[in-house]
Amino acid sequence: MENRMRIEFAALAENEAFARSAAAAFVACMDPTIEELTEIKTGVSEAVSNSIIHGYKENPNGTVELECQIREGGKIVIIVRDQGVGIEDVNKAREPMFTTGKTEERSGMGFTVMESFMDRLEVESRAGEGTTVTMIKQLDLSDGL
């Protein structure tokens, strides 16, 4: 079984809540635990916020794409894509505390948070072309017995 959805929305801060709600609603059919759902929502929030704040520099003319897939065995794949400024050095950007935002407003922990809540995190980016973040989460499908 594979199910998927894809949505696009304006790169506006208020759409971050929409994206996390859409992802949560989509995976709800898999009956995730509250913890799993919270982790998915947090990962989506971080990725979408990065696109809006860093990818588009808060330019509302940008578009963020959210794709979610449910794969066999309870594997959830979440892709957040933008055509923003891109990341010159992905390895550097994935270091804890690194930020291109104002340091008094940004913690530089976005990728670290995503990594801690997901089983796998992939970041593909090219300067001037945008960024694609792929997060993979394996749901525990046991019935609690």
Q: Which two tokens stand for residue 62?
A: 């940008």
Q: Which residues contact 124 (CB under 8 A, 6 or more apart)?
A: 90, 131, 132, 134
CB 55 within 8 A of CB 130: yes
What is the distance between the alpha carbons of residues 54 and 109, in angstroms, rounded to a whole number? 13
Dihedral (CA of 42, 113, 61, 67) sign: negative
Active site residues: 46, 50, 106
What is the distance between the alpha carbons of residues 108 and 85, in angstroms, rounded to a whole number? 17
Residue 90, helix vs strand vs coil: helix
